Amino acid sequence: MDGLSLRSHPLRAALAEEMHVRRLPRFTAPCRLMQIVTVLGEAGAGSAGAHFEAVAMRLGLTLAPATKYAVVDLGGMKLVLERHTEFASYTFVREGAFDQPFASGVFDPAATEILTDMPGDVIRATQIALYPAGTDPPDEATLDTLFVPEALILCDVAGGKARVMSDFRLNPDGFGRLLLLDQGLLRDEPAQLVLRLQELGNYRNMALLGLPLAQRLTPDVSRLEARLAGLTASVSERVSQDDSLLDELTYLSAELARLLAETRYRMSATRAYAQLSLDRLETLGKVGERLIAGDPPDPERLEPVEAE
């Protein structure tokens, strides 16, 4: 409006830009992708940022300080760099026809050079192959060589515009496999579909980082519950002295505070990641699922165990 001066919040531009990141560059089938996700540990996002800058420097490029997301043209394929508070991802995208959907070395030598010194520990690694619309899908014999037959699941997503195949297994090469059939995807939809599928799996794995902690502390929680039950019985039966009751209450309070301090951050993150996983599952627009073999996955397994 003419003559109207609006005072913007200092973070307005940055927040607006944040709404448009976290995406994959547009690509069309046939296409193969490889994504590596690493948990950054105590070094945090700063270590990933430093590695991103080092990668760019080796390629003769310059990234802005504190870059969280970047797309790099490697000549014949693209590299998407993305970092979060706890994890970072490296996604390679190569368009073009292929005979073997999960052939090793298709992203080399660039991938090996870039990933050799990446920070953190790998929490998820995925190879993805997208077949174009109108292509005959792999026959059963071929699928048996790509996946564990009894674990293979087929699912229609995106309103039936795509079909997803995976056995959700870790292969000897350290990668999971995802095979996609284009059944009418348009414009940015292939990239959006792959992005949502990967976010679903990545956030699920990050949520499950809380599971070992919950399992480790379950005996402590059970022990405290048993002592609390005994204390309650003593109070109701008036068989304990006030001093001993106070000592026991003090101990239980201290132990509870210790457990809360030890679990608060991890379990809070677990809840957040679990919700993000469920949100991504909803956005996939899944319209049907049929099984090639075995039993379908239970949606409740997306919700990790939490320590109360």
Q: What is the pLDDT of residues 251-263, one digit of tens each?
A: 777 777 777 777 7
Same domain, residue pair 79 and 174: yes
pTM above 0.85, yes or no: no
- The single-letter code of the amino acid at 176 is G
State the residue range of the domain holding 190.
24-206
SS3 state at 87:
strand
Out of 206, 239, 266, pick the residue that ends a domain.
206
Same domain, residue pair 40 and 181: yes
Which residue stretches of 60-129 are H helix?
A: 110-115
| DSSP strands (E only) in 138-218 | 153-157, 162-166, 176-182
The candidate with the shortest Cα–Cα distance to 195, out of 9, 20, 13, is 20
Chain-centre distance for alpha carbon 4:
44
Same domain, residue pair 159 and 233: no
- Provide the pLDDT for residue 177: 94
Residue 224 lies in a domain: yes
**In 10 A of CB 270, how many CB atoms?**
24
198-232 tens-digit pLDDT: 998 898 888 888 877 777 777 777 777 777 777 77
Residue 12 lies in a domain: no
Residue 232 lies in a domain: yes
Same domain, residue pair 169 and 219: no
Domains contained in the chain, number? 2
- Provide the pLDDT for residue 9: 57
**What is the rounded distance in angstroms from the CA atom of residue 193 to the CA atom of residue 187?**
11
Q: CA of 284: how far to CAs of 57, 161, 168, in Å?
A: 37, 11, 17
Residue 157: partners with Cβ closer than 8 Å, 6 or more residues away = 163, 164, 193, 197, 284, 285, 286, 287
Out of 163, 185, 206, pick the residue that ends a domain.
206
Which of the residue ranges 5-14, 80-89, 268-277 would you say has the lowest mean pLDDT?
Answer: 5-14
The 153-157 sheet, strands edge to edge? 69-73, 78-83, 87-95, 31-39, 121-131, 176-182, 162-166, 153-157, 288-291
Same domain, residue pair 39 and 166: yes
Contact 3, 169 (CB under 8 A): no
Mean pLDDT over the full length of the chain: 79
